[in-house]
Copies of this chain bind each other. A is one copy, B any other.
Amino acid sequence: MSAGWLAIAGLGPGDEALVTPEVSAALAAASDVIGYIPYVRRVAPRAGLTRHESDNRVELDRARHALSLAAGGARVVVVSSGDPGVFAMASAVFEAIEAGEPSWRGLDVRVLPGITAMLAASARAGAPLGHDFCAINLSDNLKPAALIERRLRLAAEADFAIALYNPRSVARPDGLDQALAVLRAACVDSRPVLFARAVATPAESLRVVPLPQARGEMADMRTLVIVGSSRTRLIERPGAPWLYTPRSAA
């Protein structure tokens, strides 16, 4: 049996100019690409490459499928958007390994980093993550809403800039409004909030509003939200203002 391998690769936010050469090389060497439908479709078809598209919310099944193929000698790339290690497929693969076939622990598994959504959004707006920050996934499929609220309160108390992933979905239309209400209660100022939608794609749009005016309806499933710290500033200018957090805390 030939030596299979499994790479868990980040495709970045959308623009091909943000895909690392390391990821492109893995895709060029792969026999199989596996992932959520829109991510797999970002990989061009070619002879010798099988593309396996799967639905959302079947991450563990997808991970086990990828591991089985690699164990059988295939050269497998599991694709995520952004970075695979941030609220994406890398953890699902390791969960599948830990609970799965003992032989899977001997496989050649590599995680190939990518430009995660908050870095792309921050770059487009300026530098809102230039000082201490945190990243919180608002999806409550995998954690209780009370834990999300507690983390938001503590993050505000620590005065982190806060990147909110998966801020809104059809299943949780009120999740972001609840999060913003927690932050408004914890923060007396009107720090800026960035709604960055579909960054690095043709549909990109950016909007900055003060926290008191931020509303859940300003985000959809393709939006990344960054709530500034108390020190985050706007620079007014001819075009859209720049948003940045100074390096200094005082």
Contact = CB atoms under 8 A, between A and B. Distances in A.
A242 B21 contact: no
Given A90-B130, A105-B237, A151-B159, 8 more contacts: A20-B115, A83-B119, A85-B122, A86-B130, A90-B126, A90-B244, A116-B119, A155-B158
B113 A122 contact: yes
Interface of A: 12, 15-22, 25, 59, 83-88, 90-95, 97-98, 105-106, 109-116, 119-120, 122-124, 126-137, 142-144, 147, 150-151, 154-155, 157-160, 233, 235-238, 242, 244-250
Q: How many chain copies?
A: 2
A206 to B, nearest CB: 13
Contacts of A147: 249
Chain B CB within 10 Å, residue with most, of A87, A124, A127: A127
- Chain A contact residues: helix, strand, loop or mixed: mixed
Contacts of A155: 134, 154, 158
Nearest to A102: B237
B154 A242 contact: no
A108 to B, nearest CB: 10
A88 B127 CA distance: 10
Nearest to A233: B98
Given A119-B83, A119-B113, A235 B15 contact: no
Contacts of A246: 91, 95
Given A135-B132, A151-B158, A247 B113 contact: no
A116 B21 CA distance: 16
Contacts of A137: 131-132
The 8 closest A-B pairs by CB, nearest first: A91-B130, A143-B249, A134-B134, A90-B127, A105-B237, A111-B123, A94-B244, A17-B22
Contact of A151 (B85, B94, B112, B160): B160
B235 A94 contact: yes
Contacts of A12: 20
B151 A242 contact: no
Contacts of A15: 22
A193 to B, nearest CB: 17
Nearest to A109: B242
B249 A144 contact: yes
Contacts of A130: 85-88, 90-91, 94
Nearest to A127: B90
